Structure 1
């Protein structure tokens, strides 16, 4: 049972990482970049850029760990991976991750 519990925890970590990555990108694009270009406040991108980079790495790590556990189709894996390179793509995958979590609960094995 602890294996299933860990799988569920990892799935939830991936969903949180996707939201974190999307939120940092949104902050970078809507606050930091305009502040740099409109107001000459370059410090905003110097702060948000590395924060978003870290969020991206967290998402990539969570993705690798989660899908390596099995139970994912190639198209799901590709969708999750490609989403990391599309603006707000990781956030778009939250629905897929919720469906996978619902599948997890509906399969008692």
Structure 2
């Protein structure tokens, strides 16, 4: 349970800043803690975007160049060719094994 008593705020100027002082008496279990807060408006007025966020997006990607597209297409063709060779090699191997076993069975 806490008891809060708040008094009238006092304001005074220091240079170009206006500071308001609020005197608050608070009684809780944690009486010895001190709290310091900043006004959120102050941070938003001095905001400057970083140079990274001002960078313009590059419309031309290296993946969209014609030469790169051609290289990718040729690589796919080579992959298909290699897969086809491996598949036909396996088929021939199984066919030769099948023929060999057929000859063995036919001789008995």
Compute the TM-score of the two structures, normalised by the length of structure 1.
0.31
Higher strand share: 2
- Larger RCO, structures 1/2 (Cα 8 Å, 6+ apart): 1
